[in-house]
Amino acid sequence: MATAAEKPTEQAELFSASTAKEIQAILWKTADKLRGSIDAAQYKEFVLGLIFLKYVSDAFDERRSELAAELADDGITEDRMDDFLEDRDEYTGAHVFWVPETARWTWIATHAKSQGVGKLLDDAMDAVMRENASLTGVLPKIFNRDNVDQKRLGELVDLISDARFGGNGDKPAQDVLGEVYEYFLGNFARAEGKRGGEFYTPQSVVRLIVEILEPYEGRVYDPACGSGGMFVQAAKFIEAHQGRGHKADIAVYGQELNERTWRLGKMNLAIHGIDGNLAPRWGDTFADDKHPDLKADFVMANPPFNIKDWARDEGDPRWKYGVPPKGNANYAWLQHMISKLGERGTAGIVLANGSMSSQQSGEGEIRQALVEADLVACMVAMPSQLFRTTQIPACLWFLAKDKTPQGAKRLDDRRGEILFIDARNMGEMVDRTERVLREADLAKIAGAYHAWRGTASAREAGLRYEDEAGFCFSADLETVRGHGYVLTPGRYVGAVETEEEGVEAVAEKIANLTEELYGLFDRSAELEAKVREQLGRVV
């Protein structure tokens, strides 16, 4: 399908690649050639759909090989083996998608030139969805169109066919394909800028939430799940701690507003072998809650920051701690997630920094109510530039319905206390615009929380909590009241004593003070309006 001048160069690069990262980079470069001929909004669906089809086909072939070996051991002759190898139950019973013959990657690669690669791919997507109810309406059928460069598409199919997904150390082909899928999601988010934040949360941020919550087993919920990154990291966390659980021990529930992003999430869970309930359709969490009766053990979310246009109903029973303002949904998200927590549920939520100190439109009163209800367990101020898709500074809220020792868990009793962590100086720049949290940063932040809470992992590691100037401080509710229920960690942790503060530290202080000042301006304007209203009634 490729010209003699083009294909050998790319294939030579691919065959010389020795790591998954090198394979990812080569595939990305080739896929990027299609960008100009495909609608930008569909481009990621287009490429990720191909990777997903390759995944389900490889998983099917792997199960087929295992089955053939089992049949041979049982003495089944080759002339009888085909009937068993095409037994659908032998695949679905092993949690492998059934892939009809004409949808298998080898069939597509073999017949692409003679029958047309675009048509074969559309037919394959249709066949896989028809045979697997959980994928109904999920896979893209956008390959056999006039605006798609069929020659470039053929080159990409060739390259994916040639990629040595199973030849990278001890990792099976499916794991490598899962990494390729994640790599492409990250690259698409960077390429799309602000819109990329709708479906992708930086991996180090997701990992921090997961490391703190430790979702070994139970119901995990994300009301703004995007492409499912929270769930994937939760499964990876469990796999990294196999002694404490298996990814089958968690039940995944999610909801997503955007149709295309919902499709990406469904594929992402499937490619990582996660059985998840993302609802039969996409939908607005506020207007159409797809999991109305759910009580989750863990809630993990990165909802859109500061959204002004949302489905607000003043009579909604979720607003137990105060009706969120029409112009900002931050406190709507917080209260929605609280409503989803079980009796001992915990939550980790990414929100804009303003949520920690805002006073306008009743947000200060809602925050006060949350603090007085002893729902806030920990606040983490995050470093800047973690989110390439937005310049809005972010923080993490960790909520807990039960801060008692919880019996056999032997946790430290933290009723009436909140842990504040200032991580603004952590992380490293991976390029001029993006920062990531290092392993040491993740360990220090999560370690401080677990030491404070007295979890089993902290006891095993011999961690004991102590306040650390400039980094962490455990405040009682009286102290928080004294700060007017503002939850900005910098107010509580103090500062490390140094002879001279750097320019960056001063700039951060100015930014924080400015943010607080604007909040006071908003509060002042609100009070002025109320006074004018009352005076108007008198006159």
70-87 pLDDT per residue, tens: 888 888 877 788 888 888
Ranges of the chain whose pLDDT falls below 70: 1-20, 30, 36-37, 39-41, 163-174, 189-200, 242-246, 388-390, 496-509, 511-516, 518-519, 522-523, 525-526, 536-539
Q: Which of 212, 210, 120 is nearest to 445 (CA)?
A: 212
C-alpha 41/C-alpha 57 separation (Å) is 26
Q: At how many degrees (to 10) do helices 20-32 and 173-192 cross?
A: 50
- Domain boundaries along the sequence of the chain: 7-190
Q: Which of 223, 394, 226, 246 is nearest to 234 (CA)?
A: 246
pLDDT for res 283: 96
pLDDT for res 9: 56
C-alpha 232/C-alpha 171 separation (Å) is 17
Select the CATH number that applies to the domain covering 7-190 from these four: 2.60.40.10, 1.20.1260.30, 3.40.50.300, 1.20.1070.10. Answer: 1.20.1260.30
> Residue 81, SS3?
helix
C-alpha 445/C-alpha 363 separation (Å) is 27
Please give the sequence-ordered ranges of beta strands (E in DSSP) within 312-375, or none if there are none: 341-352
Task: Centre a 10 Å sphere on the Cβ of residue 9 and count the other Cβ atoms it contains.
Answer: 10
Rounded to a whole number of angstroms, the CA Rg of the chain reads 26
C-alpha 95/C-alpha 295 separation (Å) is 26
Residue 95, both tokens:
């949690």
Please, what sign has the CA dihedral across residues 11, 12, 15, 17? negative
| The model's pTM | 0.81
- Pair 264, 198: CB distance under 8 Å: no
Please give the sequence-ordered ranges of beta strands (E in DSSP) within 444-501, or none if there are none: 472-476
C-alpha 428/C-alpha 413 separation (Å) is 35
Please return the burial class of 406, using the count of CB atoms within 10 Å of its CB with bins 0-12, 13-18 and 19+.
exposed
Element (H, E) at 253: strand 250-254
Residue 50, both tokens:
């191909």
Quick: pLDDT tens for 359-372.
989 999 999 999 99
Query: What are φ and ψ of residue 94, in 5° steps?
Result: -100, 20
C-alpha 315/C-alpha 415 separation (Å) is 30
CA angle in degrees (0–180, nearest 5) for 19-20-21: 90
Task: Centre a 10 Å sphere on the Cβ of residue 241 and count the other Cβ atoms it contains.
Answer: 12
Task: Centre a 10 Å sphere on the Cβ of residue 275 and count the other Cβ atoms it contains.
Answer: 13
pLDDT for res 47: 83
Name the DSSP class of 383: P
pLDDT for res 365: 97
Q: How many residues does the chain have?
A: 539
- Give CA torsion, residues 3, 155, 196, 20, to 10 deg: -110
DSSP line for 94-124:
TT-----GGGSHHHHHHHHHHH-HHHHHHHH
pLDDT for res 380: 98
Tokens 């669906």 identify what position? 45
Tokens 């101020």 identify what position? 381
